[in-house]
Chain A
């Protein structure tokens, strides 16, 4: 549906680490001509209330995404691997928190 608008500045996805110790989290996107412009724009757009200590910008077209149809083959196989979750293991209370 989207027609090719060659003169539109490319879209960048923005990821922000809100404080040290946390992962970068996707917050939205913006348009910029290059990475430097994307980075400064991300600072102006997405950290107006000191929301971040670190910013990643990635050209949207460089993101490889799984598609919803992959859901079955990607995620369902993990559903029966309950042993990956700590609650799978019954330990006596005396052991304490583990």
Chain B
């Protein structure tokens, strides 16, 4: 891989994370537990879509083969997607959606904070804008972790179960491969292993306040950096990509 290929791959990871999570949140539209929350989830979804578009547009330019944000979003198959496995997991109930959101938000907050200092100015700019959005996302999901964890017996149980069910998808966030190493070496990317302590600290505090138990690190699933995914991603893509694939000559 050339440096350029690596940057392309790195940007895809960022863009795909935002896009797949945004797509998942779109599934909630009109079905949230209360109207106020419908508006909150769509606000977060809109932020994520906005981020995805910026990252993917940039990725397309870096690649230099004429692929724009839509070409990248609508004409790649599962093996070419780089989003974290965590984010393609189904919405489940509101506790599961908030658990997924919370662990990612608290990671993304730290990652954008670091990326805002990237030597790549364009990337730094996108990260700085996204950091503001993510600060709010994290506040929103943190509030819900605490409310549901320390709410009723029923909500506590649902929240704990949701956390247990996704715990093994979290270590992947802190993986580093050759692309990450190269990006760090160039001062472009973030050493995510260095975020671990701060992430642990924040997550532990919130879980404690929510009276939730941090699960044991007994399992972990990984693979997205190499394009290995769960079966869920194929269905997300089948739904998302259907129109442009069915009518490739059409403009929308």
Contacts and interface: CB of A to CB of B under 8 A. Distances in A.
Q: Do chains A and B touch in the complex (CB under 8 A)?
A: yes
B40 A40 contact: yes
Contacts of B140: 40
Contact of B34 (A9, A40, A43, A48): A9
B139 interface: yes
Interface residues of A, number: 13
A33 interface: yes
A53 to B, nearest CB: 15
A30 B34 CA distance: 11
Contacts of A31: 34, 36
B57 to A, nearest CB: 23
A27 interface: no
Nearest to B44: A44
B240 interface: no
B147 interface: yes
Nearest to A40: B140
Secondary structure dominating the interface of B: helix
Interface in B120-150: 136, 139-140, 143, 147
Interface string B14-40: 000000000000000000001011011
A36 B40 CA distance: 14
B43 interface: yes
B43 A32 contact: no
Interface in B137-187: 139-140, 143, 147
B43 A48 contact: yes
A43 B248 CA distance: 40
A48 B47 CA distance: 12
A28 B226 CA distance: 50
Contact of B36 (A36, A41, A48): A41
Question: Which of A30, A33, A36, A37 counts the most chain B CB atoms within 10 A?
Answer: A37
Contact of A36 (B39, B43, B143): B143
Interface of B: 34, 36-37, 39-40, 43, 136, 139-140, 143, 147
18 contacts: A9-B34, A30-B36, A31-B36, A32-B36, A36-B143, A37-B36, A37-B143, A37-B147, A40-B40, A40-B143, A41-B37, A41-B39, A41-B40, A44-B36, A44-B39, A45-B36, A45-B39, A48-B39
The 4 closest A-B pairs by CB, nearest first: A41-B36, A44-B39, A44-B40, A44-B43
